[in-house]
Structure 1
């Protein structure tokens, strides 16, 4: 039986499980150059990782909704050409924790605004797919561009519930304020991880903030398993 107070664990992906920054900036540069626009500075890359791309192309790229939607399509086409798991690294210690949570009998799901086919490709590439009872991300088509954290959380909980998982006491692991804002709609507590791309101020509203995987382990596996 699980030794934690949580009945299931929901994981954000970018900035929490995986660091995709090596691939993101070159694709952003290519998209902006295709429009003849100034390219994002490398120092601002962290602002792009985590939020839905449609939002970022509008808020950070200064695009209108139609151009932003087209830019997302161009970006995703480049990602498909590269291979969704290309230039993606996993944070040290996180795969082992995912496996230990699974071994402890605590069901897990992803809850990422990254397109679901990309999330699945990363987990399959790193042989983590079988550690999750459900894999949930944004829809891979144009409709997915408008989905935020709340929508993917609802999908994750629905799929877990359909699989017979007790979703009465979930916890979300994430690194951006989008995780906390989306989870608040469902009263889901959030543990904020410092190794991602969020600023310290974005942790406001989380139930805990952790700097290391060992600290996270203590919170979701209290006996240190």
Structure 2
């Protein structure tokens, strides 16, 4: 039988990436001469494609790509590395691989950023692949990223029972909805950036409160 597949979100699930993302988003608002949202709003930028977040928080549609350019200037200048792996994540990834799971990062972050970040913070060697959005993430949803990951692995969508079990792990509603588009259950994590009740309302099959409990929770689902 095909090995169980665990799809893993990056920001807010494996890594605390809020500092770099929020600072880069704030820079973009200032560069456009627009009011900088409050800290709570900036925190909501972690997870969804930024091309969704900017228009949702005051950037006129015709200026979204200008905001993206400003964001990326700050992000590539150092913001992309202003983050940290959550305590206990390497041990959980090792636990899941030892249990025979295939581990694949599936993130809305553009792949050109996701791969070097995973390299820098030692995650690449703990997973089997890293998949992110294309450079123009305006054309990519979480469902698209998952589709690309499944295709690269030779897996069908919607996922079929004889392909082996598949579960998504993420911290935002976008992870839940993206997984559901392929018939995949999503297990939510409480240490990320979701609003209270967000994961449950989106249809997550469960929520894990502590990183140390994630391995057992995933194995119970596959």
Please give the TM-score of this superposition, normalised by the length of structure 2.
0.88
Tell me the distance in 1 between the aligned counterparts of 2:78 and 2:103: 28
What is the CA–CA distance in structure 2 between the aligned matches of 1:100 and 1:161, rounded to whole Å?
A: 24
Q: Would you say 1:30 and 2:23 are equivalent positions?
A: no
Alignment of 1:77-116 (within 5 A): 77-82=73-78, 84=80, 86-116=81-111
Match of 1:72 among 47, 68, 82: 68
| Cα distance in 2, alignment partners of residues 167 and 94 from structure 1 | 27
Aligned positions, number: 212
Alignment pair present for 1:186 and 2:182 = yes
CA contact (8 A) 1:114 1:138 kept: yes
In structure 2, relative to structure 1, the CA distance for the partners of 1:221 and 1:193 (3 Å cut) is same
Give the aligned partner of residue 176 of structure 1: 172
Matches for 1:178-217 after TM superposition, within 5 Å = 178-204=174-200, 205-217=203-215
Whether 1:55 and 2:52 are equivalent positions in the alignment is yes
Checking the alignment, whether the CA contact within 8 Å between 1:194 and 1:210 is kept in structure 2 is: yes
Distance 1:115 1:219 in 2: 28
Aligned counterparts of 1:118 and 1:98: Cα–Cα separation in 2: 21
Question: Which one has a larger percent strand, Structure 1 or Structure 2?
Answer: 2
CA contact (8 A) 2:48 2:108 kept: yes
The corresponding residue for 1:134 is: 129
CA distance in 1, matches of 2:214, 2:56: 32
Alignment of 1:12-27 (within 5 A): 12-27=9-24
Q: Which runs of 5+ in 1 are unaligned?
A: none
Cα 1:41–1:71 change in 2 (3 A) is: same
Query: How big is the alpha-carbon RMSD for the aligned residues of Structure 1 and Structure 2?
Result: 2.0
Aligned residue in 2 for 1:161: 154
Kindly indicate whether the alpha-carbon contact (under 8 Å) linking 2:20 and 2:79 is maintained by their aligned counterparts in 1.
Answer: no
Contact 1:173 1:193 in 2 (8 A): yes
Structure 1 position 167, deviation (Å): 4.8
TM-score (norm. length: structure 1): 0.87
